[in-house]
Structure 1
Amino acid sequence: MLRTIRILAVLLAVLLGGVWAYAWVTRAPGEGLGEAFAARLGQIFGGQMPVPGAGGVQLPQGMALGGAFSLVDQARQPVTEKDYAGRWMLIYFGYSYCPDVCPTELGTMAAALDAMGKAGEAVTPVFITIDPQRDTPAALADYVSRFHPRLQGLTGTPEQIAEVARRYRVYYARAQRPDMTDYLMDHSSFIYLVGPDARVRSLFRPELRPEDIAATIAAQMGVRLGGPVPVGAGGPG
């Protein structure tokens, strides 16, 4: 039985590798490799898999990210996913001492929301720290104010941060370099688009253009950029 499972696993790996290579060779000009891979899988298995927009990564079918959490915002108020019920969120996990990636991605988030115009008011931008030891509510209040007036900073106990990171499958780890007296945090760097049901609808890779992110968000929300503000704009409260 174990031998059969191993053989099936090898065959599956070979199949997926072959599809990936086929997608690489046959993709159209301007078509992303991920888009091509999803499309070729749909062709092989007789179905049409959802293809991500120009700025987003479509989650595999059956994969769910997001869900319940219990944290504290920059005003020291407790918040849970229920405070955002019925609203869209754009979430980034990082830390305020981050020297480069975090400020860049938060700036991209802010620019994407601004590019959406009135429609962007329906999306609540959220920054969740993965360094609660240093990112107190007061520190977050100062930090998030530098990027967008509606950006909310969330922190919590190490256990609460670990739990929300697990639900979003965020990698993070403390990194102490010999030449530095302070520490850095290694972490994954995705922007998460979360729907009104508290589930992730799309992921945005680092260094995407704000315009592409804005277009993908609008498509997921079913709104036209420059149109009326959808119901449910704003943050908790």
Structure 2
Amino acid sequence: MTRLYALLAAVFVAALLGGAWMMTRGGNGGDKFAQCRSSQIAGGADTIGGPFELVNAKGETVTDKDVITEPSIVYFGYTFCPDVCPMDSARNADAVDVLADRGMSVTPVFISIDPERDTPEAVGDYAENLHEKMIGLTGSLDQVKAASKAYKTYFKKNEGDEDYYLVDHSTFSYLVLPEVGFVEFFRRDETAEQMAEKAACFISKT
């Protein structure tokens, strides 16, 4: 009977150590963010995001390394957008404030997909009016297309008046971490609080 107890104890300890080893190894295929992910991404998270080169509000050419220096919420829109962009960007700014209340510093980033009208000054003013930390970016059409393609976003200029045309575009927001890259996206129907809750999970694991 003593040997049986000893054997059972050994099995229990082995199982416990095995579980601890799996946790330290990350589990779930080594994805340390697995518990935070709310949806599956076709091809994996590493297929979204990547290097970009754009122009900031000062007219300076910057790269993703210059911009993503802390956890960031990235959004593609344009300053002439009548409704969707202002609401989404304001929601993203609110999420940044909710995270700040939790002690987590996050930067909102607005990338224009309308470089024809969105000069560095225009996109800079737009971003500053939405949040003091928001970074506004524009660039040449080729630069904007490259950034959009990296994040698998869509945009198309509508025909019409050369000054008052609209631009169709996707409306996802992206959580991007420095040295990691894209980790999660947020849909339009998610609230600032829901975004902050999800973002906090990823940030806490970096």
Q: So what's the TM-score if we normalise by structure 2?
A: 0.76
Aligned residue number for residue 196 of structure 1? 178
Q: How many residues align?
A: 175
Once residues 108 and 204 of structure 1 are traced to their aligned partners in structure 2, the CA distance between those partners, rounded to angstroms, is 11
SS of 1:116 mapped into structure 2: helix
Does the CA-based 8 Å contact 1:74-1:137 persist in structure 2? yes
Once residues 92 and 190 of structure 1 are traced to their aligned partners in structure 2, the CA distance between those partners, rounded to angstroms, is 7
SS of 1:146 mapped into structure 2: helix
Aligned residue number for residue 191 of structure 2? 209
Does the CA-based 8 Å contact 2:99-2:106 persist in structure 1? no
Trace 1:43-82 onto structure 2 (pairs within 5 A). 50=34, 57-60=39-42, 62-63=44-45, 64-82=47-65
Aligned residue number for residue 32 of structure 1? none
Does the CA-based 8 Å contact 2:75-2:174 persist in structure 1? yes
Does the CA-based 8 Å contact 1:70-1:78 persist in structure 2? yes
**1:154 maps to 2:137:** yes
Shift of 1:207: 2.6
Shift of 1:79: 0.8
**Amino-acid identity (%):** 37
Once residues 121 and 143 of structure 1 are traced to their aligned partners in structure 2, the CA distance between those partners, rounded to angstroms, is 24
Aligned residue number for residue 138 of structure 1? 121
Shift of 1:146: 1.6
Aligned residue number for residue 128 of structure 1? 111
Corresponding residue to 2:72 among 57, 71, 89: 89
SS of 2:184 mapped into structure 1: strand
Q: So what's the TM-score if we normalise by structure 1?
A: 0.66
Question: Structure 1 pair 101/57, CA: closer, same or farther in 2 (3 Å)?
Answer: farther
5+ unaligned residues in a row in structure 1: which ranges? 1-46, 224-229, 231-237
Aligned residue number for residue 164 of structure 2? 182
Larger Rg: 2
Aligned residue number for residue 167 of structure 1? 150
SS of 2:110 mapped into structure 1: strand
Aligned residue number for residue 113 of structure 1? 96
5+ unaligned residues in a row in structure 2: which ranges? 1-27
